[in-house]
Amino acid sequence: MFRTITALAGVSFMAFAPMSVIAEPVNVADFALAPRIAEKVASGEPLNIMVSYHDVSNEFAPFVRQGVERADAELNANARFIGPVGADADGQISEIETLMAEIDGLAISAVSTDALSPLIDRVIDAGIPVISYNTDNPDSKRLVFAGQDLVQSGRDAGEQMVNVLDGKGRVMITTIDAAAQWSLDREGGAREVLEASEGIEVVRTLNTGTDPQEIYSAIENAMLADPEITGILSLECCSTPAAGEWVKRNGQSGTIKVVGFDLLDQTVDLVIAKAVQVTIDQAPSRQGFEAVSLLVQFLNGETIDDLDTGVGIFTSENIDSAM
Amino acid sequence: MSRPSLWSRIAGRKELGVFLALVVMCVFLSFSTSSFLSSINLLNVGRQVSLLGIMAVGMTFVLISGEIDLSVGSTYALSGLGSGMLIVMGWGLVPALMAGLMLGASIGLINGLLSTYGRLPSLIATLGMLSIVRGVALLMTDGQPVTVNTRNGALPQVLEKFEFMGQGYLFGLVPMQLVFFAAVALLGWLVLSGTAFGFRVFAVGGSAKAARVSGIHAESVKIWTFVIMGLLAALAGILSMAFLPSGQAGRTGLGLELDVIAAVVVGGASLSGGVGTVLGTVLGVLIIGVLRNGLVLQGVSPFTQEVMIGLVIIIAVAIDKWSTRSRTT
Amino acid sequence: MTKKPIIELIDVTKKYPGVVAMDTVSIDFRPSEVHAVIGENGAGKSTMMNVLSGAIQPNGGVIRVDGKDTVLPTPLASQAAGIRVVYQELSLCWNLSVGENVMLPELARRNPFSRLSSMRAGHAASSVLKRLGMEGLDPETPVAELSVAQQQMVEIARAVNQNARMLVLDEPNSALSPAESEKLFEVVRGLRSEGVSVVYVSHHLQEVLALADRISVMRDGRLITSFDNTAETTTDTLVAHMVGRDVVTSDQYSTCANSVSQIKAPTLELRGLCVPGIFDDVTFDVSSGEILGIAGLPDSGKDVLADAIFGMIGRAGEVYMKGIRVASGRPRHAIAAGMAYIPADRRGAGALLSMSVAENTVASALGKFTRHGFLNKSLIHKTTQTYMSKFDTKVSALGQAVSTLSGGNQQKIILSRGLATDPGLLILHEPTRGIDVGAKAEIYDILKDLASQGMAILMISSELPEIMLHTSRVLVMADGQISGRLSGAEITEERIMALATRSRHHAA
């Protein structure tokens, strides 16, 4: 038996800050806003809010975009969803540079925190408010962060794994990009919890690559190399269904436990089929909406603060609510 | 002009070096890991390289004709996702497959026309197409993953056959993808080494001018090789879709073109045209597949794996070049 | 002529698996001497050149430079010894100017950050060009704009500019017109008077007789003989040494070629053929059973004629084969109409070098060798065998790559390829360029046989003896037009040269 947590929107997890600096609440009164934006706010014209996402061709992009589009319709803002095709820091930087003169507020989810920080600082220095969402840039001058803390979500996944394994087993961690900051953060959180549990051994972190066929093959090879593995913890959207699919096809549903992330169609099917025990939703649509909303609030004089967009934890018992 | 002995014919074959390299790798892996030599693992390796192999057979034609095709990873994505979407929309299996294959063939046709009558170097033409086709796939799917299942609208009897193509086993043993690869390789070998068309591909790649003097229509030969390449990339993409059964335009087949070209070159084909065999390509594909599998079985770190794969590509091609050089001087 | 040799080879041997390319060759090269080395293809001339240039290492024997035992392990070592080789295949950078090409070895040695002045390169180059009597050549001209003959001069200038003590020229005039050859001879004689040892490797026996002080003959990897060139030496003595057997010499042919069998209706008719900027209004017929020769200087337009007739390039005007019009732009239409084409550029446009003997033989007539799209390999082998024995083509296996064969054997295979399509017309462009005497005679024999069996043959050639002795009619081109038509006794060297050098304004 394991407990089902549904972290509801708005419930805050502010008790941690392992790798990031917590932002102070900020108000526009303390911000050197560019005069052209101030005029625009005063006249009540709709504000140009750009939401830059680190890869508009990945599977979350459509959900984030939906959130941005909803904000565009509901709030007094021209919200636009932008970003490079394929994770490409240079592409993301040059697009923002090109658009800078028309941006009244920027929300950014960065390809690479190091590469984007100087740009964020430049945009801030130009008097344009910048917040980060989805992926944080704690070392930059960005105002606040809206999203899910990566280390914490890794811990959540780790806890779910400990639960479904009843505290003992051999766990393999899978990720499509072992070297990426988001992956390292989430892996750190997951390992922290897993390694604290005495009966659990983390055998390896498997780097699967990004092509779906490649991901499946990598998992297949790794499972064959170590038949003793009893749990697969996937750190992201895309190796989750591959792990579930492998378990299902090899008749191991329920024997080898899978904990992963996100609500891709295929993942939902696999949760229903009980090949994936738990999947953690990052509410990407909400992240997109809140990013715009925070900037609009800020420009209209309200004080804003970091916002945890929360996670939803889904098992076969509550998966219906995700469909 | 007597017929050479069997042994000297084997020793003289260009593929011998690649074959020996493969044997050495396999022997090493069977001793150093317990699971490499299991039939399950070997069939897995076979399945894992099948899609790469199907495309590599097509690329062999293109490279021998003296051209190159960088758009294959994108074609793989577009055709697979296209067929998948049509099945989800309730199409029958055959029309959906035909549509996907025709899509691949048309991309090949455009590549061929641009590289011949359009007078663009194929490197440039297909580099452009790589981007265009990837973009079309993203537009077509709106960036959303495409998952082929009944919940999304696929007809159950269609889905069953579709999934059999990708996930099934022939006689309950041989993965269907491997069956497709074997069939494509056999057909490719017959066409390349046994038909007038295959002959013309070699002639055009060896010397386009001399081929023209011989009355060979170089342009149409090259266009056909691109069409074959497009068809095979589409087939691989569709099989990938049938296997997973899901794909996403931003990730599916990303960078695959380089793996395909690497496998063909490891198999002894020349980027300057005129040289290559399907057998060599199959061996090249197996080397890459066995290497990937072996490195994971050995527990080598993912970053070291990248280095190893690069080294094998360079060493394999270098051995080939050095040995042919010593043979001719 | 008792000066000390610059280079001596003593019992030098080079063995390859199964072949002895140089067999205990002893030879010396002295200053102020033109030393001609002749021999059929495969006689060992190229191997010796490569030993001298440091490109290959002998297995045995001694190389002496200035009387001292030396090894030449690399081309650089050979160059340091003052040896320069100018190969038949030119090695100029087509994108650079004359001056830059001449100065290239020097520029290559400079440190990478030194400043370059094309003016200085041009200036330095022009003094060398002047020394070689080539003042007319502007050092600023890109070499791509030069004629083949001029390019060759640039290559020689480059070699001379590096203080060559010994200059090896490999088939230097195979692409030159008679006037250009004469210019080359002047340059060679000039270098000799400056003390340079010139090694002259050639198939052109007449020139060898005219130019050489000493002649060495090689055959089957051995040095057969070395002797001073005297007034008594004739081409026939040279040929006898080279082939080691009796050959039907040129003179014996001359009577046969003109006695043409009965000429029938024209096989090929050209009406007002034109390639803008190259030639215009070319009209003539070729009939079954005749060998029609086309002569002319390199810029006369004759070198583009064959490509135009065969449809390799766009053209205006009409081409008829056996009365049926042949469309332009598609060589396969020309083949279907019954033409076969043996181009001049044997290695570039003629042979499918990377492919086998058998594949080359059947390449133009693939349709005959396929069943349901699949190649009928036994028929291919049988047909190839037939042609190989018919023309006495020497190959070790039908699967042997054509690139490994001598020029003469390559040419016979290209000829076989053309004939495999059962053509009515054979177009040959420079049919014996770079081919040794023995193989030349064989090819003339084949052509004569084909003509007597009713083939129409069009032979475009820069070699006057070939044109004079083996054709029944001759058209001479000058300045993009046909400047004269000769037949029978009219065909003499003087008349051909007179027509070839006539400019457009004087052409009647």
Dihedral class, residue A122 (left if φ above 0, else alpha if ψ from -120 to 50, else beta): alpha
Is A251 near chain B, with CB under 8 Å? no
Please tell me the least confidently modeled range out of A134-143, A269-278, B315-324, C319-328: B315-324
C315's CB contacts (< 8 A; 6+ apart) are: C273, C274, C275, C308, C328
Residue that wins the pLDDT comparison between C27 and A148: C27
Residue B203: closest CA among B311, B64, B36: B64
Class of domain C7-246: alpha beta
Contact A109, A150 (CB under 8 A): no
Nearest to B275 among C354, C370, C395 (CB): C354
- Looking at the fold, whether A274 and A155 belong to one and the same domain comes out as yes
Q: Which of C313, C353, C354, C411 to mutate to test the interface with B (most CBs of B within 10 A)?
A: C354
Nearest CA in chain B to C307: B213
Residue position matching structure tokens 């540079």: A97
Interface check for A252 against chain B (CB to CB < 8 A): the answer is no
Q: Do A213 and B240 touch (CB under 8 A)?
A: yes
Touching A: B residues 249-268, CB under 8 Å: 249-256
Q: Do C335 and B215 touch (CB under 8 A)?
A: yes
How many residues are recorded in chain A?
323
List Cα–Cα distances, B317 to B18, B266, B320, C281, in angstroms.
9, 6, 5, 54
Does pLDDT of B9 surpass 70?
no
Q: What are phi and psi of B43, to 5 degrees?
A: -65, -35
Q: Does A172 share its domain with A292?
A: no
Q: Which of B155, B127, B25, B27 is nearest to B70 (CA)?
A: B127
Euclidean distance between CA atoms C119 and C99, whole angstroms: 9
Residue A213, domain member (yes or no): yes
B214 and C363 within 8 Å at the Cβ level: the answer is: yes
pLDDT, tens digit, for every residue of B155-172?
999 999 999 999 899 998
Which of C460, C447, C465, C415 is closest to C207 using CA atoms? C465
The tally of domains found in chain A comes to 2
C-alpha distances in Å from residue C167, one per residue of C70, C134, C179: 18, 18, 22
Pairing relationship of beta strands A307-308 and B146-147 according to DSSP bridges: unpaired
CA distance C354 to C351: 9
Residue recorded with tokens 């194929």: B122
The answer as to whether A176 is a domain residue is yes
Looking at the domain assignment, is residue A23 inside a domain?
Answer: no
Domain span including residue A112 = 28-148+284-305
Q: Does B79 touch chain A (CB under 8 A)?
A: no
Q: How far is CA B162 from CA A273, B238, B240, B247, C507, in A?
A: 20, 9, 11, 14, 78
pLDDT of residue B329: 35
Residue pair A72/A79 in contact by the 8 Å Cβ criterion: yes
Domain co-membership, A257 together with A293: no
Burial class (CB in 10 A: 0-12, 13-18, 19+), B314: exposed
Q: Are residues A102 and A42 in the same domain?
A: yes
Strands, sheet with C83-86, edge to edge from the N-terminal-most edge strand? C83-86, C166-170, C197-201, C33-38, C214-219, C222-228
- Asked if residue A281 lies in contact with residue A314, where contact means CB atoms within 8 angstroms, the answer is yes
What's the pLDDT at B230?
98
Amino acid C119: pLDDT: 56
Among A55, A220, A225, select the one facing B250 at the smallest CB separation.
A55
- B151 and A269 within 8 Å at the Cβ level: the answer is yes
Q: Is the pLDDT of residue B38 over 60?
A: yes
Instruction: Indicate whether A76 and A38 sit together in one domain.
Output: yes
Instruction: Tell me if domain C7-246 and domain C247-338+423-508 are identical in fold.
Output: yes
- C431 by DSSP, 3-state: which? coil
Return the higher-pLDDT residue of A176 and A23.
A176
Interface of C to B at Cβ within 8 Å reads 56, 310, 312, 330-332, 334-336, 341, 343, 345, 348-355, 359, 363-364, 366-367, 369-370, 373-375, 377, 385, 388, 395-398, 404, 417, 421
Provide the residue ranges of all domains of chain C, joining segments of one domain with +.
7-246, 247-338+423-508, 344-422
Instruction: Give the nearest chain A residue to B35 (CA atoms).
Output: A225
The CATH topology of domain B46-316 is ABC transporter involved in vitamin B12 uptake, BtuC (1.10.3470)
Cβ neighbours of residue B165 closer than 8 Å, sequence gap 6 or more: B176, B180, B238, B239, B242
B1 and chain C in contact, CB less than 8 A: yes
* Percent above pLDDT 90 for chain B: 58
From C350, C369, C395, residue closest to B210, measured CB to CB: C350
pLDDT surpasses 70 at B174: yes
- A42 & A82 share domain: yes
Residue B187 near chain C (CB below 8 Å): no
Q: A211, A235, A268: which to substitute to probe chain B, counting the most B Cβ within 10 Å?
A: A211
Q: Does residue A92 share a domain with residue A33?
A: yes
Do the beta carbons of residue C361 and residue C387 sit within 8 Å? yes
Min Cα separation A221/chain B (Å): 6
Q: Would you state the pLDDT for residue C397?
A: 87
Statement: residue A179 has pLDDT above 90: no
Is position A18 within any domain? Answer: no
Structure token digits, residue C318? 């009409």
Contact residues, chain C, for B328 at CB < 8 Å: 404
| Sequential DSSP letters for C11-32 | EEEEEETTEEEEEEEEEEE-TT
Beta-carbon separation of B147 and A217 below 8 A: no
Give the relative orientation of helices B196-206 and B218-243 as an angle to the nearest 10 degrees: 110
CB A91 within 8 A of CB A84: yes
CATH of the domain at A51: 3.40.50.2300
Residues A162 and A69 in one domain: no
DSSP codes joined into one string, B18-64? HHHHHHHHHHHHHHH-SSTTSHHHHHHHHHHHHHHHHHHHHHHHHHH
Position B82 confidence tier, pLDDT thresholds 50, 70, 90 = very high
Cβ neighbours, 10 Å, residue A322: 13
Nearest Cα neighbor of B252 from A240, A59, A271 is: A59
Q: What is the pLDDT of residue B267?
A: 92
A163-177, A296-310, C128-142: least confidently modelled range:
C128-142
Residue A11 predicted with pLDDT over 50: no
Partners of residue A210 in chain B, C-beta under 8 Å:
251, 254
Please give chain C's pLDDT, 508 residues, in tens.
Answer: 467 899 999 999 998 776 788 999 999 999 999 999 988 766 788 889 989 988 889 999 999 999 899 998 888 888 888 899 888 777 788 788 888 888 877 777 666 666 666 556 677 788 888 888 777 888 888 888 888 778 888 888 888 888 789 999 988 766 677 777 888 888 899 889 989 999 998 877 778 888 999 999 988 889 989 999 888 888 778 877 876 654 444 444 444 444 444 445 689 999 999 998 889 899 999 999 999 999 988 778 898 999 999 988 888 999 999 988 998 878 889 999 999 999 988 888 888 888 999 999 999 998 889 888 889 999 999 999 999 999 988 888 888 888 888 888 999 999 999 999 999 999 999 998 878 888 888 999 999 999 999 999 999 998 888 888 889 899 999 888 899 999 888 888 778 877 887 654 443 3
Domain residue ranges in chain B: 46-316
- Looking at domain C247-338+423-508, does it have CATH number 3.40.50.300? yes
- Name the minimum distance, in Å, from the CA of C352 to any CA of chain B: 6
CA separation for the pair B112, B65 (Å, rounded): 11
Residues 78 to 97 of A: which have CB under 8 A from any B CB?
A: 85-86
Q: Do the chains contact at B1 and C335, CB–CB below 8 Å?
A: no
* Chain C contact present for B214, CB below 8 A: yes
